[in-house]
Amino acid sequence: MNGHLTIVGLGPGPENWVTPAATDAVGRADIILGYAPYVKRLTPRAGQVFEASDNREELVRAERALALAASGRRVAVVSGGDPGVFAMAAAVYEAVEKNPASANGVEIRVEPGVTAMLAAAARIGAPLGHDFCAISLSDNLKSWATIEKRLRLAAEADFVMALYNPASKARPQQIEQAFEILRTVLPSETIVVFARAVGRADEDVDVTTLIGAAEMACDMRTLVLVGSRATRSVQSGDGRAWVYTPRSERDR
């Protein structure tokens, strides 16, 4: 092998949610590439080079990483969360498909991380206790018509849904459009969780219903969990509350 390329998941934010394997891969890398906010989370060691780039430059970043690794360098590409969930691992393999020779002699490894839906679910209880799916509401790489279809079919199939990239400055209205679609299929009392910046100092987790979701604010740092018909809220005797989805269909 000429070089090494490791695609690393840094988790949702807290340092103690980064796996030891991910930390080791970052520490051993000669060059680290990534979206600027993720790169800023790291402290370079002596001689280590950081290359930060914009969020929409994933394929260019992947091609650059492969070229550096092919030259014999030890390279790490960092993503937030898990690199295989709406992140850089797919971009790297897309670059390989586009130019198979770019991976010649390069050892490619993906180090998993804690993705946002797992962090959000853990904070509120166990909403992913039964079948679930993840859908990105960003239409940068797919049409809004495709997103609408997937939302409707997931609701009809009664999946718990983790909605990534729910709103941005360029598309603030799409989360409300998503809720409009879901309200045509799901009961108005369906539980919805808004989990913003989970694990960080400004963390905020709110539980509402599908009918009340339109009043909630969210942004790109928010993960929205939409329950299935079976998802419910439970309380302890001292008033603490959690959200969970029963494991068995018999409990629905």
- Helices then strands, counting H and E runs in the chain, come out as 7, 13
Please report the pLDDT score of residue 22 as a whole number. Answer: 96
109: phi then psi, degrees, rounded to nearest 5: -135, 140
Which residue ranges make up each domain of the chain? Answer: 3-114, 117-251
Please report the pLDDT score of residue 156 as a whole number. Answer: 98
CA–CA distances in Å: residue 30 to residues 22, 23, 38, 67, 193:
15, 14, 17, 13, 40
Please report the pLDDT score of residue 251 as a whole number. Answer: 62
Superfamily of domain 3-114 in the CATH hierarchy = Tetrapyrrole methylase, N-terminal domain (3.40.1010.10)
Please report the pLDDT score of residue 121 as a whole number. Answer: 97
* CA–CA separation, 171 and 181 (whole Å): 17
Convert the pLDDT of each residue in 214-228 to its tens digit: 888 898 899 999 999
Convert the pLDDT of each residue in 153-197 to its tens digit: 999 999 999 999 998 877 878 999 999 999 999 999 999 999 999
Q: Which fold has domain 117-251?
A: 3.30.950
> pTM, whole model, 2 decimals?
0.93
Convert the pLDDT of each residue in 26-76 to its tens digit: 999 999 999 999 999 999 899 999 999 988 899 999 999 999 999 999 999
Please report the pLDDT score of residue 1 as a whole number. Answer: 62
